[in-house]
Amino acid sequence: MKKGVVGKRENIVLMNPDGSNQVGLTNGPCSNFFPTWSPDGTRIAFTSGCETIQAYIINADGSNVVNISISEDDNGWPAWSPDGEKIALRAYKDGISGIFVMDIKTGSVANLAKAGFDPSWSPDGTKIAFSRGKGIGVINADGTGLGWITDQGSYPAWSPDGKKIAFCSEKSGNWEIYVMDADGSNQVNLTNNPAHDMDPTWSPDGTRIAFDSDRDGNNEIYVMNADGSNAVNLTNNPASDRDPDWCCQLLIVKPSDTPSPLAKEEPFLTEGYAAIVVLIIFVIVAAFILFKKTRKQI
Ligand SMILES: [Ca+2]
Ligand SMILES: [Ca+2]
């Protein structure tokens, strides 16, 4: 991750899984990207680039931004553990540019892998998949047992049942979304489209996958069935929309006429938003050129 991403303004947007009710979560002078939900849906971790690249946690209502960076620069791709207690991220620390795991409460940090980026936890919290070059590795959460499950993929996303991993690969000649068994076998191309199809994230029930693609002329967020059928454009706007992350366990169940404390306190969100408990979060940018540049720099 180079500083070339810094200075191009990106922001994190929340929306319903059908693309409605898009609301900006961040609106600062820096670029904010790589959003990831906490498992309980109360917070979002993300990366922000100004002079340096820092990692933050923000409440889902936009309040209480906390810097969780573990190195002076280059803190990227935060990923929440399923128990909500730890965050894995790529950072440069103690001479190592790799995957680290931070305990959120204590702040203790452990190096997990000496290279790699874009970690994804298995749903049981025992393993972490991550990208390294054009391959995907899996390592136990205690740092043991590193193995490589494919040498032609990146950006892994573990399915909610733990049996599958969705990922991106350029092995067909253009970027496609694939799914494979968690051991790397049975790889299936889900998109089969000449456009750039990237950044898969699973729906909480595992039946659908959201991703981004430029198949309609500029980058949009799409959702498809987990078998690749019925891809639907959710965003339909001229900006570059990318990096969706789909929340999460059902968090709030209350009568729709019950006032929400989130709606009362949050200046960015509407009353209608507070009743929505399953959301997609994604990054929206002003230019598709940035998307391509950022990819080259990873
Ligand atoms: Ca494609
Ligand atoms: Ca768009």
What digits encode the pLDDT tens for the residues 25-67? 888 788 999 999 999 999 999 999 988 999 999 999 899 999 9
Provide the pairing of β-strand 10-15 with 23-24.
antiparallel
Residue 201, Cβ neighbours under 10 Å: how many? 25
CB neighbour list of residue 215: distance below 8 Å, 6 or more residues apart: 193, 194, 195, 197, 222
Residue 279, token pair as written in the block: 């959301």
What pLDDT does 107 receive?
92
User: Does the domain at residues 3-297 carry the CATH identifier 2.120.10.30?
Assistant: yes
Tell me how far the alpha carbon of residue 177 lies from the centroid of ligand 1, in angstroms.
7
Q: Which residues contact 293 (CB under 8 A, 6 or more apart)?
A: 4, 5, 8
pLDDT band with cut points at 50, 70 and 90 for residue 279: low
The confidence band for 284, taking pLDDT boundaries of 50, 70 and 90, is: confident
d(CA 57, CA 23): 18
DSSP 232-276: EES--SSSEEEEEEE--S------TTSPPHHHHH-SS--HHHHT-
Q: How far is CA 30 from CA 64, 75, 220, 270, in A?
A: 17, 14, 22, 24
Query: Quick one: average pLDDT of 112-133?
Result: 96
Q: What tens digit of pLDDT does each residue of 78-100 get?
A: 999 999 999 999 999 999 999 99
pLDDT band at 9 (very low <50, low <70, confident <90, very high): confident
Of residues 153 and 294, which shows the higher confidence score? 153
Ligand 1 centroid, distance to 215 Cα (angstroms) = 8
Task: State the pLDDT at residue 274.
Answer: 33
Structure confidence by residue, pLDDT tens digits, 139-193 = 999 999 999 999 999 999 999 999 999 999 999 999 999 999 999 999 999 999 9
Average pLDDT, the chain: 85
Neighbours of 89 (CB within 10 A): 28
Q: Are 155 and 177 a contacting pair, CB within 8 Å?
A: no
From residue 49, alpha-carbon distances to 24, 83, 112 in Å are 17, 27, 24
Q: Which ligand is nearest to the CA of 171?
A: 1
Which of 131-135, 174-178, 292-296 holds the top average pLDDT?
A: 174-178
The whole-angstrom distance between residue 288's C-alpha and the CA centroid of its chain comes to 18
Sequence spans of domains, the chain: 3-297
Q: For residue 125, report the distance from its CA to the centre of ligand 1, in Å.
A: 31
What pLDDT digit, counting tens, does each position of 198-236 carry? 999 999 999 999 999 999 999 999 999 999 999 999 999
pLDDT (0 to 100) of residue 276: 36
Relative to the alpha carbon of 288, which ligand is closest?
Answer: 2
Ligand 1 centre and the CA of 175: distance in Å?
5
Residue 2 CA from chain centroid, whole number: 18
Report CA(194)–ligand 2 centroid distance (Å). 17
Measured distance CA(259)–CA(41) in Å, rounded: 19
Per-residue pLDDT band at 293 (split at 50, 70, 90) = very low
Which ligand sits closest to the CA of 222? 2
The answer on pLDDT for 256 being more than 70 is: no
**Is residue 271 scored above 90 in pLDDT?**
no
pLDDT at 269: 34
